[in-house]
Amino acid sequence: DAGVIQSPRHEVTEMGQEVTLRCKPISGHDYLFWYRQTMMRGLELLIYFNNNVPIDDSGMPEDRFSAKMPNASFSTLKIQPSEPRDSAVYFCASSLGRAGGVYNSPLHFGNGTRLTVT
Amino acid sequence: SQQGEEDPQALSIQEGENATMNCSYKTSINNLQWYRQNSGRGLVHLILIRSNEREKHSGRLRVTLDTSKKSSSLLITASRAADTASYFCATEPNYGGSQGNLIFGKGTKLSVKP
C-alpha cells in the first residue's frame, strides 16, 4: 500500500498565478479530505468528499478555492488567483468511512504540499 | 473557535522519561483520536478512543478520556529520541445526529533528548 500520494511536494508561485494540488487516496477509501496547516491557525478542514461527492465545503476560504474529485482515485485542489496569505502546507487525507455516521477508522494523511506564494 | 486544545504547547524530556500531553475540548463528542506528526511529514494516526471508553493502550501509549471534564491525556512511557514529534488530538463533535467533522487541536511539540 503506497499510502496517500500528494504532488507536488513543494510549490513556489507568484501572486495571481493558478495553483493546482493533486492527491491520490488509498485505494478503497471512500472519504477524502483536504486540510490546510499554518502556524497561526493549525490544521483547518477545507472540504471533504464521500464517494467522490463533496459533502462539506464550508471550510473553503473563498471562491478562489475549488476542489474536485472526478473519480475515486484522484482529487485536485485549485487556487485561482493565488495570494501570499494562501502560503501553507496543504494535506490530503483519506479514510475507509464512517459507521453509523461516526468516524470509526483513522485518517491516512499524505506528506503534504508546501505552497509558497510570493 | 478551537474545539481541541493541547497542553502543554511544548515539552522537553530526557530519553527514558514518560511524557504526558493533555487535550481539552468544548462540545460532546463521538470519539477522540491522537495523531503524531514528524517534521515535514503528514500526520500519522496513533489511537482512537470512543466516548464510552475511559482508557486505551497501544504499546507504550496510554490514552484516557474523561467526558465529564471534556479532556483526554496521552501518556508515552519510556520515551525514545524517535518519539520527538508534534502530537495532535482530534475530536468529532456530536451534533445530535448531524455529520460532524474531525477537528484538530494545535498540537504539543515533544522533544526527547538522548
Residues 20-59 of chain A with CB under 8 A from chain B are 33, 35, 42-43, 45, 48, 55-56
Residue type, A95: S
Greater model confidence, B30 or B87: B87
In Å, how far are A5, A47, B40, B42 from A90, measured between CA atoms? 12, 12, 12, 10
Chain B: nearest CA to A91, how far in angstroms?
Answer: 7
- The answer to whether residue B97 scores a pLDDT higher than 70 is no
- The answer to whether residue A97 scores a pLDDT higher than 80 is no
d(CA A107, CA A97): 9
- The answer to whether residue B95 scores a pLDDT higher than 70 is no
The closest CB to that of A42, out of B35, B45, B105, belongs to: B105
Using pLDDT thresholds of 50, 70 and 90, give the confidence band for residue A117.
very high
The closest CB to that of A102, out of B2, B43, B92, belongs to: B92
The closest CB to that of A103, out of B31, B40, B105, belongs to: B31
Closest CA to B64 of B77, B51, B79: B51
Q: Is residue B13 within 8 Å of residue B19, measured between CB atoms? A: yes
Measured between beta carbons, the chain A residues lying within 8 angstroms of B41 are: 111-112
Residue type, A70: P
Residue type, A109: F
Q: What are phi and psi of A85, to 5 degrees?
A: -70, -5
Q: What digits encode the pLDDT tens for the residues B7-61? A: 899 999 999 999 999 999 998 888 899 999 999 999 999 999 988 999 999 999 9
Percent composition of chain A: helix, strand, coil (DSSP 3-state, to 5):
5, 55, 40
Q: Is residue A35 within 8 Å of residue A93, measured between CB atoms? A: yes
